[in-house]
Amino acid sequence: MNLVSYEDALASYDPVMGLEVHVELGTKTKMFCGCSTELGAEPNSQTCPTCLGLPGSLPVVNAIGVESAVKIGLALNCEIAEWCRFARKNYFYPDMPKNFQTSQYDEPIAFNGYLDVQLEDGSTFRVEIERAHMEEDTGKSSHVGGATGRIHGATHSLLDYNRAGIPLIEIVTKPIVGAGERAPEVAKAYVAELRELIKALGVSEARMDKGQMRCDVNLSLRPNGTETFGTRSETKNVNSLRSVERAARFEIQRHATVLTDGGTIVQETRHFHEEDGSTTSGRIKDNAEDYRYFPEPDLVPIAPARAWVEELRAGLPELPRVRRARLQAEWGLSDKDMQSVLNAGAVEPILETIAAGAPADQARKWWMGELARRANETGTELSEQPITPAQVARVTALVAEGKLNDKLARQVIEAVLAGEGEPDEVVEKRGLAVVSDDSALGAAVDQAIADNEAIAAKIRDGKVAAVGALVGAVMKATRGQADAARVKDLILERLGVEGQ
């Protein structure tokens, strides 16, 4: 299919988006039973009658799950329900032990909120929140015997119920209108901001790569200047920030292509493909699927006491937006520089490095320079680099003490990354310390002057700028281990010239 260009799509149509984000809470136990939520355990080892849906078993609500939901609701500027219930969402699927999901329907715990997100140009876009509700995760199916790992062509499926019953919070936006060409950027910025918020609240690690945070992108187009929403597609499980942006962008182009050709958009779920950023049709939803929701009779209603809600509100941590503004001011960064720090995921490492004693500019220099480059090259998170903020801080301290220069510091960092040990051990083992012994340096300086008499003469004549060449020679002779400033001073001293 030849897609209409993004610009052409936007010239005729106005995108309307809805984002549904599922967050796996970091509670120790599941939403309705006492089983562990630890990832990576032997399949089906973290199950009990309740999360396996055995006949006769009953759910009991995880109080920490409710508390986390209320915290998220408050941080999203939502109203917190005075009274709400769980509901059963009925549909058959083998990875769902009861064949209904215990969720919330028309009585969510939090509703009517908003989240302000910052776009790359520094402007703010307000995304309105419809609701945040509690539910349980399903188990995991793996399909065996087929070529693709999908159910199509598989000979059998394996079910792991360790994930079944892990608490989820589903956060649903109101239709996002008015973003225009920035719609994909808004989608990405919203998910990014939400992720920061969830992390700041300490209710989940919100790792998208580990499925702790999953996003569905609903998108429709309407002709520019019209009000009525078009038919939407629902792109499921878009699981990275970049993919969220790409999926929205692709769907805008795809919808525009279909509509421009006089076709109609089918309401359906779509799969996103990381490889080329496209989406393909999943199942068709001719009508809204009938989940036969009804209030969960096995659970009593939840009525969060107002005093408790206020207590939680008062105890909310500094939220990411506020914190960012504070750090930007403290570090004296421009909007653009701050944005780079954020994009690199460098805030926490920098803060921890500062906390370990490094000056702010030095901490930022290392994390945003050498280490960010490495993370980028290896496709890993900055926080996952095999070096600790304390080690980075130690390197900056060695520089400040004059024991390392910039070039040597870089070598030390590389050695630490390569697993050669602590910065001091590297300096020791590799003999990387700056040569600060003037007598040793003096010999090198004398040699350099002797070898470059013409240059030395120029300097004596007042062309002090030429000293660089001699410094270079000394540095070369000492294999970079000399302090360049000191070398310069020594040369000028030998030549009887005052430094400038």
93 versus 308: smaller Cβ distance to other proteins: 93
How far is C-alpha 255 from the geometric centre of its chain's CA atoms? Answer: 29
> Minimum CB separation from other proteins for residue 48, in Å?
8
298 versus 361: smaller Cβ distance to other proteins: 298
Question: What is the token pair recorded at 153?
Answer: 């062509």
Q: Which of 297, 220, 302 is nearest to 264 (CA)?
A: 220
154 versus 177: smaller Cβ distance to other proteins: 154
> Minimum CB separation from other proteins for residue 91, in Å?
9
> Minimum CB separation from other proteins for residue 146, in Å?
13
Give buried/exposed letters for 233-255 (b at 16+ CB in 10 A, else e). Answer: bbbbebbbbebbbbbbbbbbbbb
298 versus 348: smaller Cβ distance to other proteins: 298
Residue the block writes with tokens 């945070």: 213
167 versus 349: smaller Cβ distance to other proteins: 167
Distance CA 404, CA 434 (A): 5
Q: Which helix (H) or strand (E) covers residue 160, if one does?
A: strand 156-160
Question: Which residues are 216's β-sheet partners?
Answer: 20
> Minimum CB separation from other proteins for residue 225, in Å?
34
Backbone torsions φ then ψ of 73, nearest 5 degrees: -60, -45
> Minimum CB separation from other proteins for residue 31, in Å?
12
Q: Which of 130, 163, 211 is nearest to 35 (CA)?
A: 163
> Minimum CB separation from other proteins for residue 70, in Å?
19
303 versus 316: smaller Cβ distance to other proteins: 303
Under DSSP, is residue 102 helix (H, G, I), strand (E, B) or coil?
Answer: strand
Please say whether the beta carbons of 389 and 423 come within 8 A.
no
Q: Is the dihedral of CA 377, 380, 381, 386 positive or negative?
A: negative
Give buried/exposed letters for 413-428 (b at 16+ CB in 10 A, else e). Answer: bebbeeeeeebeebbe
Residues at the contact surface with other proteins, assessed by CB under 8 A:
49, 52-61, 88, 90, 92, 94, 97-100, 155, 157, 159, 288, 290, 292-294, 297-300
Distance CA 57, CA 53 (A): 6
297 versus 379: smaller Cβ distance to other proteins: 297
Under DSSP, is residue 465 helix (H, G, I), strand (E, B) or coil?
Answer: helix
Please say whether the beta carbons of 302 and 67 come within 8 A.
no
Distance CA 413, CA 178 (A): 47
> Minimum CB separation from other proteins for residue 85, in Å?
12
92 versus 147: smaller Cβ distance to other proteins: 92
> Minimum CB separation from other proteins for residue 170, in Å?
20
Nearby residues of 27 by Cβ (< 8 Å), 6 or more positions away: 37, 62, 64, 65, 68, 167
14 versus 137: smaller Cβ distance to other proteins: 137
266 versus 300: smaller Cβ distance to other proteins: 300
Q: Greatest CA span in the chain, whole angstroms?
A: 99
